[in-house]
């Protein structure tokens, strides 16, 4: 592993650790604070891919995955109190959903970015992040909260996530977890566009250093 890869690995680990903590705190009715920090993971992956190549990007992804697993293991041991019940800060379904979604989406991001590498500078990071973010959201919320997968953790009561409500408070009736997923997805799409600015700046600075 090159020393040049260490900042990317540390940045990814920090983003994953922070997101695992912030996902426990609500921002409004449909989002958690983690929705605003997690998309930075795609920025880190894309910068590493552009500057150091596909192999380096994959190393950073696996480092982030390991950090996420460690955070999840710690979270399963932290017990919280609420409504007369004791429950873990991170449930098994959330741990599985988070790990599976992260690894799948990030490796997909690397593959899409690499396929579009030779196009216009913005095409690879934008397309890879949009596709990766969409897959990440679909996998995580389905695994963590869908009633069809309740067999993954029968003791975990997620009936609250199945509550039928208007989508985002105004659309057709859908389970609450679908509104949470859609809100999370919309934030990721918005941040994918905004991330093009720091992507361009960081890549330019790192490219100068490596030439």
Which DSSP string do the residues of 140-208 spell out, in sequence order?
Answer: HHHHHH-GGGGGG-TTS--GGGG-EEEGGGTSSEEEHHHHHHHHHHHHHHHHHHHTHHHHHHHHHHHHH
| pLDDT, tens digit, 9 for 90 and up, residues 91-121 | 788 888 889 999 999 999 999 999 999 989 9
Q: Cβ distance 136 to 104 under 8 Å? A: yes
Q: What is the pTM of this model?
A: 0.90
Domain boundaries, the chain: 3-210
For 3-210, CATH number out of 1.10.3210, 3.30.160, 1.10.1760, 2.60.40 equals 1.10.1760
Weakest mean pLDDT among 24-38, 72-86, 143-157: 72-86
Which pLDDT belongs to residue 94? 85
Name the DSSP class of 211. -
Weakest mean pLDDT among 18-22, 30-34, 135-139, 160-164: 18-22
């Amino acid at each position: 592993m090159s020393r040049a890869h260490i900042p990317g690995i540390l940045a990814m680990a920090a983003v994953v650790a922070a997101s695992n903590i912030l996902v426990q705190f609500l921002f409004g009715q449909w989002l958690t604070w983690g929705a605003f920090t997690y998309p930075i993971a795609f920025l880190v992956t894309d910068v590493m891919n552009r500057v150091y190549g596909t192999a380096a990007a994959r190393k950073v992804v696996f480092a982030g995955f390991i950090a996420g697993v460690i955070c999840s293991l710690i979270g399963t041991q932290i017990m919280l109190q609420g409504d007369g019940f004791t429950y873990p800060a991170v449930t098994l379904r959330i741990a599985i959903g988070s790990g599976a979604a992260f690894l799948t989406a990030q490796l997909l991001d690397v593959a899409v970015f690499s396929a579009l590498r030779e196009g216009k500078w913005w095409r690879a990071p934008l397309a890879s992040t949009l596709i990766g973010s969409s897959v990440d959201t679909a996998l995580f919320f389905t695994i963590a909260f869908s009633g069809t997968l309740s067999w993954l953790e029968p003791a975990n009561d997620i009936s609250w996530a199945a509550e039928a409500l208007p989508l985002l408070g105004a659309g057709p009736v859908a389970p609450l977890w679908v509104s949470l997923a859609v809100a999370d997805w919309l934030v990721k799409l918005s941040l994918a566009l905004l991330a093009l600015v720091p992507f361009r700046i960081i890549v330019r600075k790192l490219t100068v250093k490596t030439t």
